[in-house]
């Protein structure tokens, strides 16, 4: 492998594929807040926290709800009309919420 190619692969691995706009994501998250909170903390017993969640995981989950790979009564509807940009922006917003972790005990 040439040096230039390895450098390119290294860059591809470290630079996020689609860098979302967290500010636009926050505006879009108004439609998610009843369940996930604008702060990313769940407001319902069956809704997960999204604050500080890994960004590519959020993109994956939302894409899978949208294309039907992952199904949930509520989320399949909530993700239905999201564009790729919406998903990238929402993922940037929720993953960007800073969290403190203090394990029990």
Whether the CB-CB separation of 65 and 72 falls below 8 Å is answered with yes
CB of 5 to ligand HEC, least distance (A): 34
Tokens found for residue 2: 């040439």
Q: How far apart, in whole angstroms, are the C-alpha atoms of residue 60 and residue 50?
A: 13
Task: For residue 38, state whether it binds ligand HEC (rule: CB under 6 A).
Answer: no
Tell me: does residue 97 bind ligand HEC (CB under 6 A). no
Told to check if 72 binds ligand HEC by CB under 6 A, we report: yes
Which residue has 């790979």 as its token pair? 69
Q: Which residues here bind ligand HEC, judged by CB under 6 A? A: 31-32, 34-36, 46-48, 50, 58, 61-62, 72, 74-75, 78, 90
């Amino acid at each position: 492998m040439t040096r230039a190619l390895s450098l390119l692969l290294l860059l591809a691995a470290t630079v996020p594929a689609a860098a979302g706009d967290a500010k636009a994501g926050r505006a879009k998250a108004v439609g998610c807040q009843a369940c996930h909170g604008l702060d990313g903390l769940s407001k319902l017993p069956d809704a997960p926290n999204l604050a500080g969640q890994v960004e590519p995981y959020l993109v994956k989950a939302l894409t899978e709800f949208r294309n039907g790979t992952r199904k949930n009564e509520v989320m399949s509807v909530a993700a239905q009309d999201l564009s790729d940009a919406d998903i990238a922006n929402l993922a940037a917003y929720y993953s960007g919420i800073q969290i403190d972790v203090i394990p029990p005990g």
